[in-house]
Structure 1
Amino acid sequence: MTMNEEYQPINCDDYDNLELACQRNWVLNLTLRSGETVTGIAREMLSKKRVEYLIIDVAGTSQDVRLDYIASFTHPELGTVVVSAE
């Protein structure tokens, strides 16, 4: 995936679940569309230049993950959520 790809908003329910994870500082296991996996603490949602990001703390380092790059995320209270387009 390149940074020049047009952003595709995700489903509102999936967005709401990510917001809840941030409010509760849940540890999420993310699977990205590239196949990469990321595990970290959900910190906040951020919008930059019409692109939405999840800020996740991975081993003390903040990472911005484009929401449309997330294929799924998992947490014990949510189960596995497969992210779909809006």
Structure 2
Amino acid sequence: MINQCKKLSMEAAGKGSTKKDLNSQRNLFRDILDFFEYGYSPEISMKIGRDSLQTSSWSEMIQLNFIKHFLGGGFVKHIQVGFLLHL
């Protein structure tokens, strides 16, 4: 499994993939490889206004990515003023 993650972290994207998608794929498999080899969880930090939003586990990262994709362009606005969702 580790060897496959190493290959995928260096692999070129499929035909028609954007450079952004390729970089995202490589970064994801590097994070997975770091987890298997060293036990490191990925960390994400983003600035929203004057506040900072940080994740430090796989489950937090997956939840954040789901919410970002679900809300799309309204993600930042919702985090800033939304009453139901404060991370």
TM-score, normalised by the number of residues in structure 2: 0.30
Select the structure with the greater relative contact order (CA < 8 A; seq sep ≥ 6): 1
Instruction: Please tell me whether Structure 1 or Structure 2 has the larger radius of gyration of its CA atoms.
Output: 2
Give the structure with the larger strand fraction.
1
Give the structure with the larger helix fraction.
2
